[in-house]
Structure 1
Amino acid sequence: MLRPWLLLLVFCVPLLQRVNSHEESGEWSCESDSDIRIQAQFGPGLITLDGHADDWKDTDGSEFSLLPALDPDAETEYTGGKMTVKALHDGRDVFFMVQVDGDYAYSKGENTKCPSVALMFQIGEAATYHNMGGCKEGVDSCTNKTCKSHEVDIMHFSIGNAIPGRLYGGNPVDNRDGNGGDRFGHLNDLYGWNPHCRYLDGISSSANDSSAKNDWKGAWWHSSLNVHSGFVEEDSPYASDGQKGTYYFEFSRPLRTMDRLQQDAQFTIGGSSKMSVAFWYPVDGKSWHGSGHYSVSCDWVPLDISMKISMLTRVKQSSSVSAASVFALLLSVISLCVSVFIGYWVVKPKTIAFTPMENL
Structure 2
Amino acid sequence: MLMMFPVILLLTATLSHSIGQVESHEESGVWSCDSQPEIRLQADFRPGVITLDGHIQDWKDIEGSEFSLLPALDPDVDKEYRGGEMTIKALHDGSEVFFMLQVDGSYTYLKGDSHRCASVALMFQIGENATYYNMGGCSEAPDTCTSKTCHGHEVDIMHFATGNAIPGRLYGSNPLDNINGNRGNRFGHLEDVYAWNPHCRYLDGMGPSGNVSATKHNWKGVWWHSSFTRSSGFVEEDNPYGSEGQSGAYYFEFSRPFRTMDRLQQDVQFTIGRTSKVSVAFWYPEDGKPWHASGHYSIGCDWIGFDVLPSEAIMPTKDLQKNPWDVAMAFSLLFSVVAFCLSVFVGHRFSSFTKSKDVFIPLDTF
Residues 38-74 of structure 1: CA deviation (Å, up to 9, x unaligned): 0111111111111111111111111100111222221
Change (3 A) 1:112 1:319: same
- 1:211 is displaced (CA, Å) by 2.6
Corresponding residue of 2:74: 71
Q: Are the aligned partners of 2:88 and 2:102 in contact in 1 as well (CA < 8 Å)? A: yes
What is the Cα deviation at residue 140 of structure 1?
Answer: 1.4
Match of 2:5 in 1: none
Which of residues 101, 106, 109 is equivalent to 1:106?
Answer: 109
Deviates more, 1:27-36 or 1:277-286: 27-36
Q: Which runs of 5+ in 1 are unaligned?
A: 1-17, 341-360
Q: CA deviation at 1:226?
A: 1.2
For the residues of structure 1 that align with 2:261 and 2:190, how far apart are their CA atoms? 19
Conservation of the 8 A alpha-carbon contact between 1:132 and 1:152 = yes
Equivalent position of 1:10 in the other structure: none
The 5 A counterparts of 1:1-360 are 21-307=24-310, 308-309=313-314, 314-315=319-320, 318-325=323-330
- Secondary structure in 1 aligned to 2:123? strand
The one-character-per-residue Cα deviations of 1:114-149 (angstroms, maximum 9, x if unpaired) are 010000000000000001001111211111011110
Task: Go from structure 1 to structure 2 and tell me whether the alpha carbon gap of 1:206 and 1:62 turns closer, same or farther (over 3 Å shift).
Answer: same
Contact 2:22 2:200 in 1 (8 A): no
Contact 1:62 1:85 in 2 (8 A): yes
Q: Give the drift of 1:283.
A: 0.9
8 Å CA contact retained: 1:159, 1:185: yes
CA contact (8 A) 1:21 1:291 kept: no
CA-CA distance at 1:188 after TM superposition: 0.6
Q: TM-score, normalised by structure 2?
A: 0.82
CA distance in 1, matches of 2:213, 2:86: 36
> What is the Cα deviation at residue 209 of structure 1?
3.1
Paired residues of 1:58 and 1:312 also in contact (CA < 8 A): no
Percent identity, aligned pairs only, is 65
Cα distance 1:81–1:301, how it changes in 2: closer, same or farther (>3 A)? same
Return the alpha-carbon distance in structure 2 between the equivalents of residues 24 and 311 of structure 1.
Answer: 49
Residue type matched to 1:287 in 2? P
Query: 1:287 Cα deviation (Å)?
Result: 0.9
**Structural RMSD (CA):** 2.5
> Which ranges in structure 2 are unaligned for 5 or more consecutive residues?
1-20, 347-366
Query: Given residue 42 of structure 1, which amino acid in structure 2 is its aligned partner?
Result: F
Quote the Cα distance in structure 1 between the aligned partners of 2:268 and 2:336. 50
Q: What do the CA deviations read for 1:259-282 (whole angstroms, capped 9, x no partner)? A: 111000011111001100000000
Structure 2 CA distance, aligned partners of 1:57 and 1:269? 23
2:9 alignment partner in structure 1: none
Amino acid in structure 1 at the alignment position of 2:124:
F
Secondary structure of the 1:218 match is strand
Which one-letter code corresponds to 1:324 in the other structure?
M
Indicate the SS of the match to 2:101: strand
Bigger shift: residues 324-333 or 224-233: 324-333
The answer to whether the Cα contact below 8 Å between 1:43 and 1:309 also exists between their aligned partners in 2 is no
Contact 1:278–1:294, Cα closer than 8 Å, also in 2: yes
**1:299 partner SS:** coil
Is the Cα contact below 8 Å between 2:24 and 2:198 reproduced in 1? no
* Aligned residues of 1:143 and 1:206 also touching (Cα < 8 A): no
Q: Which residue of 2 aligns with 1:348?
A: none
SS class of match (2:178): helix
Larger radius of gyration: 1
| Cα offset, 1:324, TM superposition | 2.7
* Partner secondary structure for residue 277 of structure 1: strand
Give the deviation of 1:322 after TM superposition.
2.2
What is the CA deviation profile of residues 166-192 of structure 1, one whole-angstrom value per residue up to 9, with x for unaligned ones?
Answer: 100010000111111110010111100
| Aligned equivalent of 2:361 | none
TM-score, normalised on structure 1?
0.84
